[in-house]
Amino acid sequence: MPNFSIKNMLQGAIGGAAGAGNAIFKPVQAGSKTPGFPRTLNKAAIWANGTSDITLTAAKWVRVGQYTIPAQQMINLGYGVTGGNPEEIGHLHFDLVDDTATNSAVEPGYVRVGYTNANETMTVIMLEERSEDLSDTSSTVGIARSNELLLPESAPMLKGGPIMLSQEDSRLIADFKSDATDVLVYTGIGTGAINKWKLPVTVYQ
């Protein structure tokens, strides 16, 4: 007598259907996914006050940089992976310079980089560093990468924040608490004229 076991029935069905081009267990095609790609935001993209200078108050946090995440994009701070090749990791650089008449000098203080939602009711700070450690002002365009801080991709979830902070209409932010009351200038003076801002990010769209 033929053996009508479940195993034989399935094998027969699969074999017959496969031969007919109509298999019972159809393979599932993986959905397409656009991988994130690196981008570096410069001063023009993130300066918080158009192209106007920013007044600083000693020991007060002031918004100096922000970038609104565009429609249908998700953007994480940094790019590359922790412990990876330094040349494949984002390099963070902020030349925060004052209005000294002859030559702009680095404004000392603390810089925070993070995320906030559109209404600024939820903020996650990913990094806090001294401005002196993020700057290397020079009279030449070239800036030594050895003087830049590595910033691998850092999603807000790493600090307990929701994914919405890296999505449409939320903002990437840079806040500054200066040691003294002063003016932060958009265009540096003298040897401080060549000053760079580099905020590495990973873009998904």
Same-domain check for residues 18 and 43:
no
Same-domain check for residues 117 and 16:
no
In this prediction, residue 87 carries a pLDDT of 84
Same-domain check for residues 59 and 15:
no
Give the CA radius of gyration of the chain.
Answer: 26
Which residues, 6 or more positions from 82, have their beta carbon under 8 angstroms from its beta carbon?
152
Report residue 202: phi and psi, to 5°.
-115, 125
> Domain containing 24: what range?
1-30
What does pTM read for this prediction? 0.79
14-18, 49-53, 163-167: segment of lowest average pLDDT: 14-18
Write out the H or E segment, with its range, that includes residue 116: strand 109-116
pLDDT (tens digit per residue) in 102-117:
999 999 999 999 999 9
pLDDT (tens digit per residue) in 168-198:
999 999 999 999 999 999 999 998 887 889 9
Same-domain check for residues 3 and 60:
no
Q: Band of the pLDDT at 46, cuts 50, 70, 90?
A: very high
Domain count of the fold of the chain: 2
Same-domain check for residues 124 and 89:
yes
18-27, 45-54, 107-116, 166-175: segment of lowest average pLDDT: 18-27
Same-domain check for residues 24 and 102:
no
Q: From CA 185, how far away is CA 193, in angstroms rounded? A: 10
The stretch 54-65 carries a mean pLDDT of: 98
Same-domain check for residues 19 and 39:
no
Provide the residue type at 87 as one letter.
Answer: E
Q: From CA 59, how far away is CA 115, in angstroms rounded? A: 21
Q: Band of the pLDDT at 147, cuts 50, 70, 90?
A: low
* CATH at 154: 2.60.120.1170
Same-domain check for residues 2 and 38:
no
Same-domain check for residues 25 and 116:
no
- Can you count the helices (H) and strands (E) in the chain? 2, 11
Same-domain check for residues 17 and 98:
no
Same-domain check for residues 112 and 133:
yes
Provide the residue type at 113 as one letter.
Answer: V
| C-beta of residue 178 within 8 angstroms of C-beta of residue 58 | yes
Provide the residue type at 30 as one letter.
Answer: A
Same-domain check for residues 140 and 111:
yes
